[in-house]
């Protein structure tokens, strides 16, 4: 490795270390080629001269960091992502939620909202949506704004329809959106019980008293210590008997909170907070 490459490697490593120490997001063990490609993408559009300047800017400009975070995390999501997960929600979680007179759901790290609307559709089909309030939160205002609008590419609807059917959908998926030119606009009836809000899992506090928390494919970006903090946050935010749903590569089993949750469906990463469920 020549001197220039060695210096560049050090700069990248220092930038990732700065992100970890300042904001708690740990990208240090991710694919170096992938992470560096994404950093270079933002660097080429930043007008900065060196990666070291980029580090200084992200440490002192939170908005710049949040833009970079979008590049690093790459918000890959879709309607009814992992259909077997939503099918298991219907089977294991919905029967318990039906015992509740009112339901609070928290979608933590909701990204651009596809899975939030998927949950709304599922609850609607199970006759629960009218008595549900969904809190959809994310740290990044750009994706949160997209989620609020509920406008997605019409090109994705074929895949989303297939996911919906595989997830156990009982209606016509086309009933839930209006096609307009090259976009699909989610029906307003799905938005009425969703509250979109800025919330940072790294720094913010408990978010209400929830019956169900869905946080999928977010914790993979966090360090072990930060994951512990978030699991504590979720534990405090859940009602006794409430459900926690994680992503396919995430688990609570190696956390100190492991004994505070029972395994509902390990394959789909659905857990339940220990304790008898309490009616409102």
DSSP 177-217: EEEETTEEEE-HHHHTTEEEEE--TTT------EEEEEE-S
List the chain domain ranges: 3-73, 83-273
Q: For position 276, what pLDDT does the model report?
A: 52
* Distance separating alpha carbons of residues 55 and 28, to the nearest angstrom: 15
DSSP-derived secondary structure for 103-166: EEEEEET-TTSHHHHHHHHHHHHTT-GGGEEEEEEES-HHHHHHHHHTEEEGGGHHHHHHHHHH
pLDDT tens-digit profile of 119-160?
A: 999 999 999 999 999 999 998 778 899 999 999 999 999 999
User: Check: CATH 3.40.50.150 for 83-273?
Assistant: yes
Residue 5 has pLDDT above 50, yes or no: yes
Q: In this predicted model, which residue has the larger pLDDT, 213 or 28?
A: 213
| Average confidence (pLDDT) over 104-109 | 96
Q: For position 74, what pLDDT does the model report?
A: 66
Q: Is the distance from CB of 207 to CB of 138 less than 8 angstroms?
A: no
Residue 30 has pLDDT above 80, yes or no: no
pLDDT tens-digit profile of 219-271?
A: 887 888 889 999 999 999 999 999 999 999 999 998 999 999 999 998 999 99
Joined tokens for residue 175:
């009933």
pLDDT tens-digit profile of 50-90?
A: 999 999 999 999 999 988 988 887 677 899 999 999 999 99
Q: For position 104, what pLDDT does the model report?
A: 98
Give the residue among 211, 85, 197, 103 at the shortest CA–CA distance from 147: 197
* Distance separating alpha carbons of residues 7 and 219, to the nearest angstrom: 31
In this prediction the pTM is 0.85
In the chain, the percentage of residues whose pLDDT exceeds 90 is: 72
Residue 163 has pLDDT above 60, yes or no: yes
Q: For position 142, what pLDDT does the model report?
A: 80
Q: Is the distance from CB of 130 to CB of 192 less than 8 angstroms?
A: no
């Amino acid at each position: 490795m020549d001197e220039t490459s060695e210096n560049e490697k050090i700069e990248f490593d220092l930038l990732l270390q700065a992100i970890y120490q300042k904001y708690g997001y740990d990208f240090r063990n991710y694919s170096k080629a992938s992470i560096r490609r994404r950093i270079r993408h933002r660097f080429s559009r930043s007008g900065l001269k060196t990666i070291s300047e980029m580090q200084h800017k992200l440490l002192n400009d939170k908005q710049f960091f949040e833009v970079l975070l979008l590049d690093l995390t790459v918000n890959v999501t879709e309607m009814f992502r992992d259909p077997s997960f939503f099918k298991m929600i219907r089977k294991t979680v919905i029967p318990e939620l039906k015992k509740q007179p009112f339901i609070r759901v928290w979608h933590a790290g909701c990204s651009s909202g596809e899975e939030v609307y998927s949950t709304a559709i599922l609850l609607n089909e199970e006759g629960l949506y009218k008595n549900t309030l969904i809190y959809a939160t994310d740290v990044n205002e750009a994706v949160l704004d997209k989620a609020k609008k509920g406008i997605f590419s019409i090109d994705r609807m074929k895949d989303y329809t297939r996911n919906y059917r595989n997830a156990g959908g009982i209606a016509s998926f086309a009933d839930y959106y209006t096609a307009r030119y090259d976009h699909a606009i989610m029906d307003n009836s799905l938005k009425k019980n969703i509250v979109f809000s800025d919330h940072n899992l790294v720094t913010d506090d408990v978010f209400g008293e929830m019956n169900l928390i869905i946080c999928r494919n977010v914790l993979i970006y966090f360090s072990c210590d930060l994951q512990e903090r978030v699991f504590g946050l979720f534990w405090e935010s859940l009602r006794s008997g409430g459900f926690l749903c994680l992503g396919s590569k995430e688990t609570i089993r190696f956390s100190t909170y492991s004994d505070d949750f029972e395994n509902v469906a390990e394959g789909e990463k659905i857990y339940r907070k220990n304790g008898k469920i309490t009616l409102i």
